[in-house]
Amino acid sequence: MRRTNTFVVRPRSEQDAELLHDLLDASASLWNELTYERRQNYFEGKSVWDTDDYRKQYVGVLGSATAQQLIRKSKSAWKSFFSLKEKGKQCSPPGYWGNEDDGRTLQTCIRNDQYTLETGDRSRLEIPVGEELKEEYGLGYTERLRLEVAGDPKWDGEQGRLELFYDETSDQFRAFQPVTAEDSRLDSPLASEEAALDIGANNLVACTTTTGQQYLYEGRDLFERFRDTTREIARLQSKLRDGRYSSNRIRQLFRQRTRRRDHAQNALVRDLVERLYNDGVSTVFVGDLTDVLETHWSVRTNAKTHNFWAFRAFIDRLACTAEEYGISVKVRSEAWTTQTCPNCGSITDTIRHQDTLTCSCGFEGHADLVASESFLRRQTNVTRPMARPVRFEWDDHEWSGKSYPHESPKEVRTDQSIHG
């Protein structure tokens, strides 16, 4: 079964950081040049496979194997594009990894037999470098670039192609290492628990599991920062000369806004799925927000659901990550769950004010957590009581919380009266 290790990679010196940057930049350059030629051929009705030999052009910087891996990655992306078109799906041809003026997306991929990952007291990663870069930075003929690795990989197994990239938001180099691991406990009948997610923007995800656990990921601060950047973009656009629609600064802010959001969502998905995995969850139910996304009338709400939240992209990210852990994701209708009282079942006697749901029967609880619990009960026969919910906040690097006495630094309990 395929699993993916993620870890931070740290150059040992400023020179190593510069070398790694040049390696990733050259990889992005190869990708962009090849993508440009294939897109031109495609729009002109020519074969996208008839291109220059970019392996020879970049072998001196990247090495033959790495250059070939990037070409194969491009080929795979175009094959997927044509496959979707044959199925009648609306899709765009593979795109670029940024550009030289506005900044490229710095990343590369390294064949599974071309890198060495050693873990332990002094974990390290060694990757190949082309002869031109070796000569420029003083590496020996057989020497490879050695990097430090922060943290131990979670999965053992046959290693796959390494994906290495620079995360501009956290100012760190990161790596993804797919491995073929032995079947996990999630492949056995023992892992049969279920979970339901209520997705929003004030609180990004509220989750309830059949094990009685509840998790709440807050999003207000993230959305406000998103809105602040959006306002700045609008201010700069208003100052553009007639006939101009953008500028380097505006494009930079758009990229920064998207990367911040995606970084937080990626970290959220990874944190949540790992928690569900440890809880023995094998199925996750997610509400179908299609109708909601089409009928929102509030400009602020529309900004949250369409632009900031990027619901469909989140579901794709959730499904891909869950698949790594053997967890299935199912989309179901969640109609009325946000208005249902878990105490008496009424949907007409409840009132929601901000994060609180109250009912004339006397119930009072956190609205989003109540919605996720009602959604879960609709899909399952869960009857066990809920544990005290755990609340997470984003600190630009990970989902964590303020440290309170007798609480984990990463976990802050929500109002204990939720299910009182």
Whether residues 403 and 262 share a domain: the answer is yes
DSSP element (H, E) containing 345: none
- List phi, psi (to 5°) of 112: -60, -25
Whether residues 74 and 125 share a domain: the answer is yes
In a domain, 154, yes or no: yes
Whether residues 175 and 268 share a domain: the answer is no
Q: In what order do the strands lie in the sheet with 350-353?
A: 350-353, 356-359, 364-366
Whether residues 212 and 154 share a domain: the answer is no
Which of 149, 180, 211 terminates a domain? The answer is 180
Whether residues 86 and 210 share a domain: the answer is no
Whether residues 289 and 343 share a domain: the answer is yes
Rounded to two decimals, the pTM is 0.58
CB neighbours of residue 108 within 10 Å: 25
In a domain, 113, yes or no: yes
Closest CA to 122 of 149, 155, 142: 149
- List phi, psi (to 5°) of 115: -130, 160
Angle between helices 248-278 and 311-324 (to 10 degrees): 40
Look up residue 418 and give its amino acid.
Answer: I
In a domain, 288, yes or no: yes
In a domain, 227, yes or no: no
Whether residues 176 and 204 share a domain: the answer is no
Hey, what are 30's tokens?
A: 């190869």
* pLDDT the model gives residue 191: 66
Whether residues 136 and 199 share a domain: the answer is no
User: How many folded domains does the chain comprise?
Assistant: 2
Buried b (16+ CB within 10 A) or exposed e, 398-419: ebbbeeeeeeeeebbbbbeebb
- Count CA atoms within 13 Å of residue 359 on its CB side: 22
Q: Which domain holds residue 326?
A: 192-220+258-419
In a domain, 225, yes or no: no
In a domain, 148, yes or no: yes
- Strand 390-394 versus strand 328-332 pairing type: unpaired
pLDDT in tens, the chain (420 residues): 667 788 889 999 999 999 999 999 999 999 999 999 999 999 999 999 999 999 999 999 999 999 999 999 999 889 988 988 888 877 788 888 876 566 678 899 999 999 999 887 788 999 999 999 999 999 998 999 999 998 777 777 888 889 998 887 678 898 888 887 665 544 544 567 899 998 876 788 999 999 889 999 988 888 888 889 889 998 999 988 887 878 888 888 888 888 888 888 888 998 999 899 888 898 999 876 554 444 433 444 445 544 566 677 788 788 878 877 878 888 887 666 777 777 777 777 778 777 788 888 878 888 888 888 888 888 887 666 677 889 999 887 788 854 333 344 444 444 444 444
CATH number at residue 313: 3.30.420.140
Which residue, chain included where needed, has tokens 């809880």?
Answer: 279
* pLDDT the model gives residue 144: 94
